[in-house]
Amino acid sequence: MAKKNNYEKYCSFCGQPGSHSEFFIPSPLNGDTFICSNCVEQINMMINEFQNDKSEKSTSKFNTSLQNIPKPREICAFLDQYVVGQEEAKKYLSVAVYNHYKRLAQKTDDDTEIEKSNVILVGPTGTGKTLLARSIARLLNVPFTIVDATVLTQAGYVGEDIESLLTRLLQAADYDVKAAERGIVFIDEIDKIARKGDNPSITRDVSGEGVQQGLLKLLEGSIVNVPPQGGRKHPEQKMIPVDTKNILFICGGAFDGIERKIAQRLNTHAVGYVSGNARKRVDENNIMKHVAPQDLKSFGLIPEIIGRLPIITNLEPLSREALRNILTEPKNAIIRQYVKLFEMDGIKLEFTPEALDLIVDKAVEYKLGARGLRSIVETVMVDAMFDAPSMKKKKFVVDADYCMQKLREANFETQQA
């Protein structure tokens, strides 16, 4: 402590003389530089305020208190606003997300620890796997990201590293590591990383079995060094350690051709053909509901991955009635989107019931699922969207004849002789 006799000293921060302060703290580098007790107190208060603000910001956006956890029925009711049908898949997802919240809020002073239950969704293309994930992301107050498994390769090969999954999650959490460690990752197209054969490969399968091996450490829970800016383009970047123990993984895939594996296991044919009393009759439209872990193994997923995805649920092929509802009922229904587009140009757009039925019939015929509805409507409406903004019409009606004409012009339909 500097003495106040000899000569008057002044604070280098506020300029206050030493006689007005309880004590002075000298600089260890320069004996003529001091800081007074008042400045020390003010700096201490500023540091505390900064730390409190930082703590509030990191917890306010992603709050997982028990009072804010949505119940499974509430989650399912929210999904009903965006996804038509798929009641079983909604139920499994709702329970998985609810239990994930409860895991985050569990007390650590108990001997019983709730383990996470990763989910895998199996269903044909266009049945709503990705839509379910995107819809759930609207509801959650934990970091959520959707990643594509098709771009992943083993480290050192062309493509994205497995750790890039967590880079996306960090970005969704605004690089709040604690929040990211409580997040949810949806891995789409998980079937595309199946190994090429049922037997282990003697050569390196860097985009199939190699990726599955890399995913193991993420799914089971471990501390992974994550590049904050992704990939190898920034080799000088400092890695961020992320603990995946409390990250919930939801995987989805079409698994095209797995029906044959299921039928073989059930000792039957996918077409429902009966050959003797020993064979069971299975409707080909419902065979996916019999999917089991051994079918995923036969398809090409390694047993270690299947063991870390304990919850398996299927999405049913969409019926004609479900496709008709998808066109008009959800909040972001396809027809509502086009009505809004025309409304922004001051034009009232209407679809006749016959036109909607025709669109659904063609989607069923082409076997494109709900994704096919959008491509058909886009083909029908592209000329109208090109001409209508320049016309003076205030109303535009789309009927069945107009739809068929546009589909034939786009070579979707051949002209009847």
pLDDT digits (tens, 9 = 90+) for 148-207: 888 887 665 656 778 888 888 998 888 888 888 888 899 988 888 887 655 555 555 555
DSSP three-state, residue 250: strand
Angle at 273 between CA 271 and CA 277, to 5 degrees: 140
pLDDT band at 383; cut points 50, 70, 90: very high
Which residues make Cβ contacts (< 8 Å) with residue 241, sequence separation at least 6? 177, 223, 224, 225, 226
Write down the pLDDT at residue 377: 93
The ranges assigned to domains in the chain are 18-60, 66-255+291-314, 320-409
What percentage of the chain has pLDDT greater than the value 70?
82
Torsions phi, psi of 356, nearest 5?
-65, -40
**Contact criterion met (CB below 8 Å) for 98 and 65:** no
pLDDT band at 379; cut points 50, 70, 90: very high
**In whole angstroms, what is the distance from residue 310 CA to residue 119 CA?**
7
Write down the pLDDT at residue 155: 60
Residue 135 vs residue 30, higher pLDDT: 135
CATH architecture of 320-409: Orthogonal Bundle (1.10)
pTM: 0.71
Write down the pLDDT at residue 389: 86
Averaged pLDDT score across all residues of the chain: 81
CATH architecture of 66-255+291-314: 3-Layer(aba) Sandwich (3.40)
Torsions phi, psi of 97, nearest 5?
-70, -40
**In whole angstroms, what is the distance from residue 33 CA to residue 11 CA?**
7
For 91-104, b/e burial (b = at least 16 CB within 10 A) is bbbbbbbbbbbebb
